[in-house]
Amino acid sequence: MSSFSQPAASNSRVRFGGRIKNFWHRVSEGRQIDDLWTQFAADARASYGFYGRDVDWEEIQKLPRWRRPLHVTRQFFWALLLKMSPARRVLLLIAFVLLVLSGGNNINLELFSAILFLLLLSLELADKVTMKRDLEIAREIQSWLVPSHPPEVPGADIAFATRPQNSVAGDYYDAFYPNADAGPEGKLMVVIADVAGKSVPAALLMATLQASLRTIAGDGAPLADLVARLNRYACAHSLDGRRFTTAVLSEYDPASRRLTYVNAGHNAPILRRAKGTLEKLEVGGLPLGIRSPITYETATLDLRPRDALIFYTDGVVEAFNEENVEFGEDRWLSAISSMPELTAQESLQFLMKRVDDFAGATRQSDDITCLVFRCI
């Protein structure tokens, strides 16, 4: 009898162990404990920053040290509570009251409290999943507005990458021929822009910027006029300057290797000459949408073989690491200076890796976009 029962028990344990393993793999998506902890830590820091914005830290600093933890906890609780709908606030308060009244001795009250907490969690999760699905659709639509592959440019190589902080971004980049009939024989428009704000509002303004730029550029207007017209449109939809856009707009002539540009209040692109010197593209004027009418200055550069021009948004230099230290312009310039002679795509990967290595597992605080234009 025992000779049969032992293999049966062993097989039962194996099956049970297999079910536990499959369950854990499904829950963790196959990630290691270190990866899960890193993700949790990043989420916790982001949540702390999110709710911490509603905490009156100056007032708390005036309190004695022994009173601060209680006041911080209370303000964090209110920050959490006020972000719920009124009905859910009441439900959360009832769950807390029942938990306190149970005193750890009344199983029925504790069970009912747990059910209320689970109900609240399911309601909040349902909202998040619905919003996430809508944002994924918005992100797919937004991806149609920017090029998925760089255009062919005689004597040049282009690569670009963007990483939204959320599902959708306010960053915009583009490289296109305004005169489609001329193709690679005509002038190439290279653009990078950053709409003030984040997520959906910024993404909507980014879409209107893209549509306006494509329309105005198709008229064949000189670059200075193009930017002035774009600024007038931006001012009409900027909510009195609160929704402005920084941008660098440039025209590149492949025949002469000449680049004409306007910097409208954006992070200055960096031109690394073949001999290693760095130049900043700073000529221009105010961000789009601040004031109209306004005159924008243009500047011209003659590019040479092995020159590399790097456009980027402020999310690159404002990336933070776990110690809350900013990547900064000095590290960015150092990365560009040390960039080896590579293709545009390899150069882009090199630069982004420098930012990633610095930031580590810290969740990015802004959209990150970079475009590398390299002369061959």
CATH architecture label of 152-375:
4-Layer Sandwich (3.60)
* pLDDT for the residue 327: 92
Coil, strand, or helix at residue 342? Answer: coil
Distance, in Å, from the CA atom of 253 to the CA atom of 224, rounded to the nearest integer, reads 16
Distance, in Å, from the CA atom of 159 to the CA atom of 350, rounded to the nearest integer, reads 12
Mean pLDDT, residues 259-283? 95
Determine what percent of the chain is predicted with pLDDT higher than 70: 92
Q: What are the Cα distances from residue 213, in Å, to 45, 99, 139, 151?
A: 38, 58, 20, 17
Model confidence at 2: pLDDT above 80: no
Least confident of 74-83, 244-253, 328-337: 74-83
Tens digit of pLDDT for each residue in 157-197?
Answer: 999 988 887 666 678 899 999 876 656 667 899 999 998 86
Beta-strand relationship, 258-264 and 284-285: parallel
Please tell me the pTM assigned to this model: 0.72
Phi/psi at 328 (5° precision): 80, 160
* pLDDT for the residue 304: 93
**375 class by beta-carbon count within 10 Å (0-12 exposed, 13-18 middle, 19+ buried):** buried
Phi/psi at 151 (5° precision): -75, 160
* pLDDT for the residue 239: 66
Model confidence at 263: pLDDT above 90: yes
* pLDDT for the residue 8: 64
Tens digit of pLDDT for each residue in 344-367?
Answer: 999 999 999 999 999 887 777 788
Tens digit of pLDDT for each residue in 51-89?
Answer: 888 888 888 888 888 888 888 888 988 988 888 889 999
Distance, in Å, from the CA atom of 285 to the CA atom of 271, rounded to the nearest integer, reads 19
